Amino acid sequence: MNLNLNNLGILRTKDFTQKKRDMIMGIFTVGAILIVSFFSSDPVLDFLCRTVIFMLFATAVNIILGFGGLRPLGQATFFGFAAYAYVFLIVRAGLSVYLALPLALLLTVLLAAFLGVLTLRANDDLVFAFMNMGINILLWTTVQKMQIVGSDTGLTGATRLPFAMSTRANFYVCFVVCTVCVILIYYFFHSPFATTLKGTRENIQRMTFIGYNTRNTRLTAYMVSAFFCGIAGLLYSMRNMGAFPVMISSNTSMDGLIMCLVGGMGSFFGPILGAFIITFINVELPIVTQYYQAVLGVITCLCVLFLQGGIIRDKKVLDLEERSEKTPRREKADV
């Protein structure tokens, strides 16, 4: 009994220490971005705005990738759909931005519910991955051909909030919203539901056997991820003053996956770091060389081969690997 209480105390101490580290890292990240923004010109603020938006997008993708164990090959569906719905409601339907914002998010969540039921029907990872990719490509092709949404030139309009029309003001709006959303995702990751979600990632058969509805668990996580991807899409449409086909393309979906892969899909701050690295490569490296995508490809291959856990790895995973290395292997007895 005393041993169990001691173990429980050790676990609580480790959990408190991890949360303290996360808080320090979060404060450092927020402070660094704010300090840089105070002394930045509009082009730098535009880059920072894109970076924080993709930090939110990558963190949202990691809900079902790193913690759900699924392969979301089409999360740009919700990123782009929310952007197009928002701009369409303003430009074509004539709604105000304050009415278009919640309505676009509601439509995004409803789309996620429908697609989640469709793609998770078999509760199979491979089926989920390729159905998401197929739906993403279908929507991207449809958007490029439909004149009502601007076809391949996109749809533009006055999408920014009335009090945030300038580049600097819009950046701070995006920064505050992304910070709040990332904090909400952090608490979501440390909720009992997230523990169940991780259980479906580790052993879905066992979770089903003990009575959990794994399909509904994954569906809920899918909808939560789509909700935050939609918020990122809305902010991106404000930044660009419109919605464009690239927002809903498979390239954007792959960028979200690579951000998680490079940064570390097993940790919370991994996708945030990965978003900064990939955004820097996509935005700043083309100024130096036209082969910037080759650099991205090399980094991805190196991470897959030599750094499979990403740059930032979960401490619990490292502890398990260290224990497994220290545990002596049982040698088979000679018959």
Q: Which helix (H) or strand (E) holds 156?
A: strand 155-156
Is residue 184 within 8 Å of 241, Cβ to Cβ? no
Residues in the chain: 335
Q: Which two tokens stand for residue 224?
A: 């939560």
Q: Which two tokens stand for residue 181?
A: 């959303």
Q: Which of 48, 29, 28 is nearest to 37 (CA)?
A: 48
pLDDT digits (tens, 9 = 90+) for 242-264: 999 999 999 999 999 999 999 98
The rounded percent of the chain whose pLDDT value lies above 70 is 89
Tell me the average pLDDT across 208-231: 92
4 has a pLDDT exceeding 60: no
Mean pLDDT of the chain: 86
242: left (phi over 0), alpha (psi -120 to 50) or beta: left
Average pLDDT over residues 216-234: 95
Average pLDDT for 52-72: 92
Percent of all residues in the chain with a pLDDT value above 90, rounded to a whole number: 57
Q: Mind listing the pLDDT tens digit for each residue in 24-50?
A: 888 999 999 999 999 999 999 999 999
Binned at pLDDT 50, 70 and 90, residue 322 comes out as very low
Task: Give 248-301 as a 3 state SS string.
Answer: HCHHHHHHHHHHHHHHCCCCCCHHHHHHHHHHHHHHCHHHHCCCHHHHHHHHHH
pLDDT value of position 200: 87
Task: Record the pTM.
Answer: 0.89
Of these ranges, 11-15, 155-159, 172-176, 282-286, the one predicted with the greatest mean pLDDT is 172-176
Residue-wise pLDDT for 270-280, tens only, equals 999 999 999 99
User: Domain locations in the chain?
Assistant: 40-248
Instruction: Work out the pLDDT band at 335, boundaries 50, 70, 90.
Output: very low
- pLDDT band at 14; cut points 50, 70, 90: low
Mean pLDDT, rounded, for 263-291? 90
Helix residue ranges per DSSP H, the chain: 2-38, 42-65, 76-91, 97-119, 125-145, 167-189, 192-202, 204-209, 214-240, 250-263, 270-283, 285-288, 292-306, 315-326
Q: How far apart are CA 7 and CA 12, in angstroms?
A: 9
Q: pLDDT-derived band of residue 331, with 50, 70 and 90 as boundaries? A: very low
In tens, the pLDDT along 145-189 reads 888 988 888 899 889 999 999 999 999 999 999 999 999 999 999
Which of 80, 25, 115, 63 has its CA nearest to residue 253?
A: 80
pLDDT (0 to 100) of residue 15: 57
Specify the 3-state DSSP secondary structure of 155. strand
pLDDT (average), residues 284-310: 87
Q: Taking residues 285-292, report their average pLDDT.
A: 87
Please say if the pLDDT value at position 122 is more than 90. no
Q: Confirm if 278 and 296 have CB atoms less than 8 A apart.
A: yes
Identify the residue whose tokens are 């440390």.
Answer: 190
Checking if the pLDDT of 76 tops 70, the result is yes
